[in-house]
Amino acid sequence: MIKLIPASDHHAAKVGDWLQSNYLFSFADYYDPANVQFGPLRVFNHDRIKGRNGFPSHPHAEMEVVTVVLDGELTHTDNIGNDVTLNAGDVQRMTSGTGFTHSETNNSDKDTVILQLWFLPNKRGLAPSYEHMNLDFLDARNKLVPLVTGQKVLENVPFVNSNSTVYYGHVGQGEEIDFKTFKLRKTLVYVLTGGLLVNNVEAELNDQVRLEDQDIVSLHGNTEATFILVDVPATEVNY
């Protein structure tokens, strides 16, 4: 199964004059029973936060929260002692587990652009924890860069309590990358810039392609393009 979901079908949300967001799955005031999750991937939001604004302190529980900073900066403060400023190229993982409270604020004068992905954990009742790294992924050329993973074959990236991996990808015009997968897994590709052929399905800016029952995900650059690839299990125990 290969399903193209064009950008126009995403739910566009605006909070006051400070936040613009696209929701790829049901979230907040948007609910579609046919679009709740993709394996353990429960949330995928593409956010633009205006300067001197942000999300006030709020709680999470039993969720793996991943934040990818594409542009600008974001200050994270939580109730387990972390107070850090993330910059473009940084990736953050929060295990909310039994309960976690945090705020995310753009303290600069320019807009900040982030992706936020939430995964249902493969273990419940975990102690809250936090991790972030600068992976300098924005300089990638014709390759996939792992940003966060629960698959222990990958090292030196933040660990998420889900049998899933998130990649940032770049492909040049006319170039191609093949991602090897298994028919028991699912793949989501979200186009950040440019345009791709994903297993011969044309995907343009902010489109997404969801794939199941595949052995290879072929990513061909119609133009120079960047994208996010999320590799998840079709099912995952304990979530």
Buried b (16+ CB within 10 A) or exposed e, 26-42: bbeeeeeeebebbbbbb
Q: Which residues are annotated as a binding site?
A: 58, 60, 102, 104
pLDDT tens digit sequence for 59-80: 999 999 999 999 999 999 999 9
* Euclidean distance between CA atoms 171 and 34, whole angstroms: 31
Give the pLDDT of residue 44. 98
Q: Which residues are annotated as a binding site for Fe cation?
A: 58, 60, 102, 104
Give the pLDDT of residue 155. 80
Give the pLDDT of residue 42. 98
pLDDT higher than 50, residue 223: yes
For range 123-142, the mean pLDDT: 96
For range 207-221, the mean pLDDT: 98
Would you place residue 237 in the very low, low, confident or very high pLDDT band (cuts 50, 70, 90)? low
- CATH of 2-233 among 2.60.120.10, 3.30.465.10, 3.60.9.10, 1.20.1730.10: 2.60.120.10
Q: Which residues, at least 6 apart from 239, have a Cβ–Cβ distance to it below 8 Å? A: 40, 120, 121, 122, 124, 162
| pTM of structure | 0.97
Q: In terms of pLDDT, which residue wins out, 154 or 194?
A: 194
